[in-house]
């Protein structure tokens, strides 16, 4: 005999999030069936007699990077007209999810950004580009590689067309601020468009911390993630 448990899940913005929540709950011993709905932001779980209780299921969801709320109230969802919800800065689940999103944005942006700077560095800037021109190109390439990486990751969970749509839906404000922060740190610490072993870590830290609060605000208030 099984018992049905319904959880309100906050922070889901796409089908990839639905799969993340579903997979996390299905791995719990005693869980026999899981249905996760993006539109209503709910998870319906069938639990065996010896299975976990509601608090334990809630912990699984929050550990996966999502928040818990009462079913049918204060939920976050992705739609053409984002819905506003009561905002606060104390939602641990949203902080975790926004950090996860920011991390993947950072990895993608760093590939194009660092790659561009490194190319000009090893070729000794044969085109005599100014530092500002190199940085602007690095920022553009960083955004492009971030979209490409996100599309590749999402292909494991959805068709290419949907994966690309989700990837290009990333917040440009988040990525531009991330790129700007990294390149400003590079210029301040090295005096130009240069990569050294000791400047990469400060660049990554600045690139992560700068857009993270904005990504939290966007996800918590409007249910929209940066990826």
For 98-121, give one letter per residue: b (16+ CB within 10 A) or e: bebbbebbbebbbbbbbebbeebe
Tens digits of residue pLDDT in 120-157:
999 999 889 999 999 999 999 999 999 898 888 777 76
Q: Which residue has the higher pLDDT, 85 or 62?
A: 62
Q: What percent of the chain has pLDDT over 70?
A: 88
Query: Looking at the domain 2-69, which fold is it?
Result: Alpha-Beta Plaits (3.30.70)
| Rounded Cα distance, 158 and 20, in Å | 12
Query: Shortest CA distance to 48 belongs to which of 20, 29, 27, 21?
Result: 29
For residue 209, the 8-state DSSP code is H
Residue with tokens 């796409």: 14
CB 218 within 8 A of CB 171: yes
Q: What is the pLDDT, as a whole number, of residue 131?
A: 94
Residue spans per domain, the chain:
2-69, 92-222
């Amino acid at each position: 005999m099984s018992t049905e448990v319904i959880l309100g899940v906050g922070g889901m913005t796409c089908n990839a999030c639905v799969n993340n929540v579903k997979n996390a709950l299905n791995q719990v011993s005693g869980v026999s069936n899981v249905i996760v709905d993006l539109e209503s932001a709910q998870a319906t779980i069938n639990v065996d007699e010896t299975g976990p209780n509601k608090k334990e299921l809630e912990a699984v969801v929050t550990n996966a990077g999502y928040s818990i709320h009462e079913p049918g109230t204060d939920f976050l969802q992705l739609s053409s007209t984002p819905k506003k919800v009561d905002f606060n800065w104390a939602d641990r689940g949203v902080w975790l999810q926004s950090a996860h999103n920011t991390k993947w944005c950072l990895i993608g942006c760093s590939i194009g950004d660092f790659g561009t700077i490194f190319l000009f560095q090893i070729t000794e800037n044969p085109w005599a580009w100014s530092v500002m021109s190199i940085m602007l190109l690095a920022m553009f390439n960083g955004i492009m590689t971030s979209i490409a990486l996100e599309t590749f990751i999402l292909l494991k969970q959805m068709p290419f067309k949907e994966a690309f749509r989700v990837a290009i839906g990333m917040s440009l404000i988040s990525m531009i601020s991330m790129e700007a922060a990294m390149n400003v740190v590079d210029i301040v610490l090295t005096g130009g468009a240069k990569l050294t072993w000791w400047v990469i870590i400060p660049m990554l830290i600045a690139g992560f911390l700068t857009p993270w609060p904005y990504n939290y605000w966007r996800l918590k208030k409007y249910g929209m993630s940066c990826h």
